[in-house]
Amino acid sequence: MRILITNDDGIQAEGLRALVEVAQDYGTVKVVAPDRERSACGHAMTLHDPLRARPVTSLGHEALEVNGVPVDCVNIALTVLWPDRCDLVLSGFNNGPNLGFDVTYSGTVAGAMEGCINGIRSVALSMASFVSGAPIHYETGKQWLRENWELLVTAPLPELTFLNVNIPSIAPIELRGTRVVGMGKRVYEDRVEVRHDPWNRPYYWQGGVVVMDRNQPGTDVQAVSDGFASVTPITLDWTHHAACESLAHHFRSGVPT
Ligand code: MN
């Protein structure tokens, strides 16, 4: 099996190494990842700057670091390293959760999304740690991935669908199992902090605190809060098909009802 690994925390990230350690037991691993952290870049693509890909030898597998974002990395990998495509794209392990709306900001998820667009089975993997700076339990992510590898790779999925996995950053013994769930709601508060530079000019720093309602049955948010790994199938078709039907009705009749 030909496995491409990327991430958004950068090629030096501990989570990427952890992912390589597992994946190498299941096939030929190649890595293409950003040369620095690019978290929260979403599904961005670099258009106006040239991309450089430099070989990296420290991972023990063919690897390139790219001065771009995860989408760039996947596309370069599929041009340079796997021109005949590959069988699996893994993105992660991200240092931090990608739950609910995080999916739209996440570079980790975007890496898997790009694999999916290219018709390749793709999985985004994130370690859901909620304490900034706390050590991440990558050993739990590794163990979970080994136990679920076959399912992740072979379970039937509809077209244009990839998997978003969040594993709680807790000791392996504390992990309660796995839930297949939908996306929850994850909202941030005090998103933009206003600060001032030494010349008293304002500048702005985005971040904010998550205000997460943990009581969201059937979602990734609640599964991870309850100590379960979450697996969410995500489709590239963002259409709300039911709304499509009712909206078409309104447009036909021309009157809001
Ligand atoms: Mn990240």
- What's the pLDDT tens digit per position in 10-55? 999 999 999 999 999 999 999 999 999 999 999 999 999 999 999 9
Average pLDDT over residues 57-66: 98
Name the burial class of residue 171, with classes exposed (0-12), middle (13-18) and buried (19+) by CB atoms within 10 angstroms of its CB. Answer: exposed
Cα 36 to ligand 1 centroid, rounded to whole Å:
10
Q: H or E element: which one contains 245? A: helix 241-253
Cα 85 to ligand 1 centroid, rounded to whole Å:
25
Cβ pair 220, 230 in contact under 8 A:
yes
Cα 201 to ligand 1 centroid, rounded to whole Å:
30
* Amino acid, single-letter form, for residue 212: M
Residue-wise pLDDT tens digits, 92-146: 999 999 999 999 999 999 999 999 999 999 999 999 998 888 999 999 999 999 9
Cβ pair 11, 69 in contact under 8 A:
no
Select from 176, 205, 169 the least CA-distant residue to 188. Answer: 205
Cβ pair 167, 148 in contact under 8 A:
no
The rounded radius of gyration (Å) of the Cα atoms in the chain is 19
Cα 116 to ligand 1 centroid, rounded to whole Å:
19
The span from the CA of 130 to the CA of 136, in Å, is: 10
Predicted local confidence at residue 11, as pLDDT: 98
Cα 216 to ligand 1 centroid, rounded to whole Å:
24
Cα 39 to ligand 1 centroid, rounded to whole Å:
4
Cα 87 to ligand 1 centroid, rounded to whole Å:
23
Q: Give the chain's length.
A: 257
Mean pLDDT, all residues of the chain: 95
Cα 98 to ligand 1 centroid, rounded to whole Å:
9
Cα 84 to ligand 1 centroid, rounded to whole Å:
28
Full-model pTM = 0.96
Cα 244 to ligand 1 centroid, rounded to whole Å:
34
The span from the CA of 181 to the CA of 192, in Å, is: 30
Select from 38, 37, 29, 41 the least CA-distant residue to 4. Answer: 29
Cα 91 to ligand 1 centroid, rounded to whole Å:
10
Predicted local confidence at residue 256, as pLDDT: 66
Cα 35 to ligand 1 centroid, rounded to whole Å:
13
The span from the CA of 220 to the CA of 228, in Å, is: 9
Cα 4 to ligand 1 centroid, rounded to whole Å:
17
HSE value, Cβ hemisphere, 13 Å, CA-based, for 224: 30
Q: Is 14 helix (H, G, I), strand (E, B) or coil?
A: helix
Cα 107 to ligand 1 centroid, rounded to whole Å:
7
Domains and CATH numbers, the chain: 2-184+214-253 (3.40.1210.10)
The span from the CA of 122 to the CA of 13, in Å, is: 20
User: CA angle 69-16-111, nearest 5°?
Assistant: 35
Residue written as token pair 């078709």: 237
Predicted local confidence at residue 257, as pLDDT: 56
Average pLDDT over residues 228-245: 96
Contacts of 139 (CB under 8 A, 6+ apart): 172
Cα 143 to ligand 1 centroid, rounded to whole Å:
20
